[in-house]
Structure 1
């Protein structure tokens, strides 16, 4: 485990600068300016001023749905960099929806960003159903601070009461990419999410810590990816979260990807095939499809 003081200094100096400009706002697969190709896509507004782009596969109506949540140090949340991954998932037969959510720069603090995640999930699910798709399973994927928010939205879904225009949905599975899950190890950065220090509001900090909530919904399968070349978020934060999930009974798959860093971990080349293989082999896609109704 990285000492809290060392990791906090790293987070303040690096995570809140580099991730805000390169984490999910630019796409490592499309940095030359090319647009990702997908079978089709549509933009859906799920809350005033908040949208998500839904990438649709061409050859199936019974599909998994993956809602993608960007990072940004809990200060911003621009999903533009996740477009290539979403397109890659759609080409593999998965409906994928990179979503805008609010962050501290928008004047909100916890739990609003988690509630935005849940409303984005609800809207994407409703849109697919209205278009004749059967979205099962429903998966929430997050990168960096977005992985932390995704974990809360999936594991602690019953703790939140979002005001969504669409019927609420309980996500079926979680995918985390290079997440700082244990916010007690990144207090200087996570203060942007909580709007307080751990000493000022220990209850909120415990509630917003996915490691402390790992015992919830043990039936939910989890995939965690982290690059071994990540110099922004230590791999230990993923492996420690995985240990807590395993202890609670989750079917947890962890892959430390050789050569991937904090940015390339969410590229289509690195993540798309690993995610689709996990969906097919670990059970959430197959078991959900057997019980789904069109």
Structure 2
């Protein structure tokens, strides 16, 4: 497992800054569509997916495959959008960069509040997407290993639930559900009790109306599940939308539960650049090498 990029003392100091910023600004939902950055992938990476598959009615995934290799790390990518929207087009640069580095990557469309669904439907969509993509990769005579779920912002929250609490869900998918092997979270709001006004879009209730439901949908309260699962958490030091304290909080819960966890606080990265290829691809690829 890769060494931590910061000492715990450094993390605590940055977390304190993030919490202070959160108090001053509040958690600002990333409700816009992530834009494709021209710097989001190396010049050698093609931003054109190998194929696009429909894994459920109206829901698709773009699959980016490396040019060589039989055993490939597979990274299924879940977009953010404040639980209101979930458009993965901004992941194209990172997906292409990962494929250029030898991994398979698949940004996925999932349903969100604007589609009239609430929890657990978005997590069910993530798990059905994972199962369909694994089936597609295997049909191409490749071995997806490990199977990783990566999420950004509210998508990181959903990814954490899909990986840690996978056994709590029973989605109706076209292919058997696959238990993911690892989790990557990019700047996620992992404690929904701290953002109840925003997370109500996901739950369709308030914490007082359904405390058990909110607890089950809260990754910091599910961190004790599947302690064998490795986790990579990335957060931009200049993120002014989701305070870095969310990542520090989840890291502490995961570490206490025994998860092999790596934290990277990325200098100069913001909430809207942390998911681009030039910012995160090398960090993700190096971590994947450490867990394969």
So what's the TM-score if we normalise by structure 1? 0.89
Structure-2 separation of matches of 1:251 and 1:151 = 14
Q: What is the match of residue 90 of structure 1?
A: 99
> Is the partner of 1:51 in helix, strand or coil?
strand
Q: What is the match of residue 74 of structure 1?
A: 83
Which blocks of at least 5 consecutive residues in structure 2 are unaligned? Answer: 1-15
Q: What is the match of residue 10 of structure 1?
A: 26
Structure-1 separation of matches of 2:77 and 2:62 = 10
Structure 1 residues 230 and 249: alpha-carbon distance in aligned structure 2, compared to 1, 3 A threshold: same
Q: What is the match of residue 167 of structure 1?
A: 176
- Dislocated runs of 4+, deviation >3 Å: 1-7
Q: What is the match of residue 65 of structure 1?
A: 74
Written as runs of structure 1 = structure 2, the 5 A alignment for 1:1-294 is: 2=19, 6=23, 10-11=26-27, 14-15=28-29, 19-22=30-33, 24=34, 26-29=35-38, 37=46, 41-281=50-290, 283=291, 285=292
> Is the partner of 1:247 in helix, strand or coil?
helix
Structure-2 separation of matches of 1:86 and 1:69 = 11
Structure-1 separation of matches of 2:45 and 2:67 = 15
> Is the partner of 1:142 in helix, strand or coil?
strand
Structure-1 separation of matches of 2:23 and 2:286 = 36
Aligned-residue offset at 1:36? 6.2
Structure-2 separation of matches of 1:275 and 1:20 = 24
> Is the partner of 1:176 in helix, strand or coil?
strand
Structure-2 separation of matches of 1:194 and 1:171 = 23
Contact 1:4 1:186 in 2 (8 A): no
Contact 1:38 1:90 in 2 (8 A): no
| TM-superposition CA deviations, 1:119-173 (whole Å, max 9, x none) | 0000000000011110010000000000000000000000000000012100000
Structure-1 separation of matches of 2:208 and 2:36 = 37
Structure 1 residues 146 and 81: alpha-carbon distance in aligned structure 2, compared to 1, 3 A threshold: same
So what's the TM-score if we normalise by structure 2? 0.89
Contact 2:36 2:93 in 1 (8 A): yes
Structure 1 residues 42 and 69: alpha-carbon distance in aligned structure 2, compared to 1, 3 A threshold: same
Contact 1:181 1:209 in 2 (8 A): yes
Q: What is the match of residue 12 of structure 2?
A: none
Structure-2 separation of matches of 1:154 and 1:124 = 15
